[in-house]
Chains A and B, each alone.
Chain A
Amino acid sequence: MSVNPFPIARMSTTLRIATRFLLAKRRAMLMTLAGITFGIAFFVLTQAQTSGFEQFFIRTILGTDGALRVADRFQGASTAKKYVEGVQYPGELKAALHGYAEVTGAAEVLKGSATLDSNFRRQEVQLFGVDLAEFLAVSSLGSQVIAGSLDDFRRQPNSVLLGSELARRSNIRPGDSVSLLRDGKNRRFLVAGLYETGIGDIDRVRVIIHLSESRALLERPFGCSYIQVNLEEPDRAPAVAARMEEALGHAVAPWQRREKVWLDVFGALRVSSAVTVMTIVLVSALGMYNTLAMLVMEKTKEIAILRSMGYTRADITAVFLWLGAVVLALGSLCGCLAGAALTLGVERLPLRIRGIFSTDHFMVNWDYRHYLAAVASAAVVVMLAALFPARRAAQLEPGDIIRGTSS
C-alpha cells in the first residue's frame, strides 16, 4: 500500500469536497448555521449575565464581610467541640493571622445590638465597632460611603456611619445627631456619613462606630466578636479556613459557607440558563442531522465513485465530519462575535437593583471560559449529529450503488 506523502493535501481534499457539498445545500446549512450562531451567542450572553451578577455579589460580600470570619474559640475534638463565644485575645490572634501568607488584612469587629434614636423614630440596630484603618484593609467601606465623609468619621471618635436604608427610614442625613441606647445608657453621636453596600439586610440595620466607643457602649473592654480577614485569593478561603481552624482553635467561616444559599441560587441560574439556551443548538444539530442524512442519500453515487477511485471509508467519514466542522466553525465564530456584541449592549442597559447588591445597570462578566464552554457544548452536539450520517455514508458499498444505477 502506498503511503501518502502529502497528508495535509489529503486532508484538504476531503475538506474541499465537504465545502462543495456544503454549498450544494447552502439553504439548509444556513438555517443550521443560524441556529448554532444564536445558540452560542445566547449561551455566552446568559453566562456573562448570570456570572456577572454572581461575581458582583461576591465582590460585594467580600467587600462588606471579608473572605473569612474568625470567631468563637473552641476546645476539644471535632465531634465534641465546646465553643466559647467571641475572641478573647484579638491582638494575639491577629498577629497569628498575619503569619499566614494568604492573609492581606485582619480587623477585629465588636458586634452588638442597640437602639437608634433619631428625632424621627427609634429602631433596633446592629453596632459594628471597628478600628477604621484596620477595617478599610478588609472591606470596601471606603468606596461604599455615598454621603458625608469618611474623614469626618476618622477624625471624630463620637461619630457613626449609618447604612443608607437605615438613614432613609429614619430621615437622617450626614451632620445630624443621633442617640444610641443600650442597657439604659444613652450616648449621642454625630452622623459622619452614610454607606451603601447594596445588601438590604446590612444597609437597614448596621451602624459602624469606633471600636473604643463600641466597647464602652457594649461594656466589652476586652476581646471582640470576630476578626474579619481578607485573603490574597478569596477562592481558596475554605482550604485556608480549615488550616486556620486546626491551628488557631477558633471557628473560621469562609465566605462560601456564609453565602452558600445565594451562591447555590446563582449556580442553579447559570446551569438552567445554559441548558435552556443549548436547546437552540440541539434543535439546530437535529436540523444538521436531517440535512446530512438527506445529503448522504443524495450523494450515494458520488460516494460510490469516490470509493471506486480509492477514497477510503475514513475519507468518506471525514467529508461528512468536515461538513459538520465547517458549519460548527462558522457558527462558533459568528456566535462568539454576536455573543460579545450582545454582552456589550446588555452591559449598558440600565437596571436598578438593591437588596443583595447595589447596581444601576446590568452586570456582565467577560470570561473567555464562557466562549470555550459554548463552543465545546456546540461541538459535542453538532459533531455527534454529523457523525451518524458520516458513518452511514462510509458504510455504503460502492458496488451495490453502481450496480443499482446500471441499466
Chain B
Amino acid sequence: MPSDNIVIETLGLVRDLGEGEARVRVLKGVKFSATAATTTAIVGPSGCGKSTLLYLLGLLDRPDEGEVILKGEPLARATDAVRTDARNRLLGFVFQFHFLLTEFTALENVMLPMRKLGKLDEPAMRARALSLLDAVGLAAKADRLATKLSGGEQQRVAIARALANDPPVLLADEPTGNLDAKNSEIVFDLLTRLAHERGLAVIMVTHNMELASRCDRMLRMLDGEFVTPAHHADDDA
C-alpha cells in the first residue's frame, strides 16, 4: 500500500469498554490504514471489535491509547470541536439503519452536511445535492419525504448524504445489513463504484462475506486484533 496515498490510519489503538470488573479490552493495539480509491471490508464475529474500530475511525469515540490520523491530522486527543469539524469535512457515514431525518425530503437530508459546512450558497447546495442523488439514481425522488422511500432508496439517500461534503473517507457499518439481496447488491455496487470514481477510501464493516470478498481488501478481526488478511483483491489477479 503506497504510504503517500494513505488518507486514514491508526497507531496502536486500544479501547476498553465496560466498568470495573466487567471492563473488557475490545481493541488491543490495532494498526490500520486505508488509501484513496479503495474499498476495505472488515469482517469478524460479533463482539470482535470491528464496529468499535469503525467508531474510533469515525471520531465518534475516543481510544484509551493510540492515535487516529486523518489526512495527516492526529485527532484522537483533539478537542470535541476539532473532531466535530473533521467529521463534517473529512468523513461520511453510512449505517445499518439509514438514520435519515424523517421530516425532511431526500434532497434536504443530503443538504444537511453542506449547510453545516457553510461553503456553498443555497442554489449551489441544491445543485450539488441533486447531482449526488442523481449519482445514486434518486434524482427523480429528490423531493420525497424520507418516509416515502423504500429501505433501499433510503440507504442510497444516506450514501448521497455521506458524500455531501466530498469527504476522502466513507465509513459504512453494515450498510446492507437491513436490506434484501437485491438492494444489498445495488448499495454495495454503488459504494464500490463511488470509491473508484471519486477516489474515496471506503471502509465497511460487514457480516456479508460474499460482498466483503468483492472489496479491494478484506481484513478479519478476532478478539480486538487483525488476523492475517483473509483476502485481497490483488490476490485474485
Q: Which of A20-28, A99-107, A223-231 lies at the interface?
A: A20-28
Q: Compute how far the CA of A311 lies from the CA of B88 in the bound complex, rounded to whole angstroms.
A: 8
CB pair A310–B95 under 8 Å, yes or no, is no
Binary flags per residue of B151-192, CB closer than 8 Å to A gives 1, else 0: 000000000010011000000011001000000000000000
Q: Out of B55, B87, B100, name the residue touching A403 (CB < 8 Å).
A: B55
Which A-chain residue is minimally distant from B207 (CB atoms)? A407
Which A-chain residue is minimally distant from B95 (CB atoms)? A402
Q: Compute how far the CA of A306 lies from the CA of B99 in the bound complex, rounded to whole angstroms.
A: 9
CB pair B85–A310 under 8 Å, yes or no, is yes
CB pair A21–B118 under 8 Å, yes or no, is no
Q: Compute how far the CA of A398 lies from the CA of B95 in the bound complex, rounded to whole angstroms.
A: 12
User: Beyond A24-B103, A310-B84, is A407–B51 a contact (Cβ under 8 Å)?
Assistant: no
* Chain A residues whose CB sits within 8 angstroms of the CB of B113 once the complex forms: 309-310
Which A-chain residue is minimally distant from B62 (CB atoms)? A399
CB pair B103–A21 under 8 Å, yes or no, is yes
User: Beyond A5-B119, A398-B60, A399-B60, is A407–B84 a contact (Cβ under 8 Å)?
Assistant: no
B118-173 CB contacts (< 8 Å) to partner A: 118-119, 121-122, 161, 164-165, 173
Q: Which of A4, A21, A308 has the most CB of B within 10 A?
A: A308
Q: Out of B112, B164, B173, name the residue touching A13 (CB < 8 Å).
A: B112
User: Beyond A402-B173, A406-B174, is A13–B103 a contact (Cβ under 8 Å)?
Assistant: no
* Chain B residues whose CB sits within 8 angstroms of the CB of A97 once the complex forms: none
- B89 interface residue (CB < 8 Å to A): yes
Question: Min CB distance, A1 to chain B, in Å?
Answer: 4
- A235 interface residue (CB < 8 Å to B): no
CB pair B84–A312 under 8 Å, yes or no, is yes
User: Beyond A310-B117, A402-B55, is A302–B99 a contact (Cβ under 8 Å)?
Assistant: yes
- B31 interface residue (CB < 8 Å to A): no
Q: Compute how far the CA of A2 lies from the CA of B86 in the bound complex, rounded to whole angstroms.
A: 9
Interface of A is mostly: helix
Q: Compute how far the CA of A302 lies from the CA of B109 in the bound complex, rounded to whole angstroms.
A: 11
- A250 interface residue (CB < 8 Å to B): no
Q: Compute how far the CA of A351 lies from the CA of B121 in the bound complex, rounded to whole angstroms.
A: 61
Binary flags per residue of B80-118, CB closer than 8 Å to A gives 1, else 0: 111011011100010111011111100000001101111
CB pair A310–B116 under 8 Å, yes or no, is yes
Which B-chain residue is minimally distant from A398 (CB atoms)? B60
* Chain A residues whose CB sits within 8 angstroms of the CB of B121 once the complex forms: 6, 9
Some 23 contacts from A to B, beta carbons below 8 A apart, are A1-B85, A2-B117, A5-B119, A6-B118, A9-B122, A10-B115, A10-B116, A10-B118, A13-B116, A302-B102, A306-B112, A307-B60, A309-B112, A310-B85, A310-B87, A311-B84, A311-B88, A312-B80, A313-B80, A402-B99, A405-B96, A407-B174, A407-B177
B contact residues vs A (CB 8 Å cutoff)? 51-52, 55, 58, 60-61, 80-82, 84-85, 87-89, 93, 95-97, 99-104, 112-113, 115-119, 121-122, 161, 164-165, 173-174, 177
Having A13-B115, A304-B99, A405-B95, one finds 16 other A-B pairs with CB under 8 Å, namely A1-B82, A2-B88, A2-B117, A2-B118, A4-B118, A10-B118, A13-B116, A301-B99, A302-B102, A306-B101, A308-B93, A313-B80, A315-B116, A399-B61, A406-B177, A407-B174
Identify the 7 closest CB pairs spanning chains A and B, nearest first: A310-B88, A20-B103, A399-B60, A4-B118, A305-B99, A13-B115, A399-B61
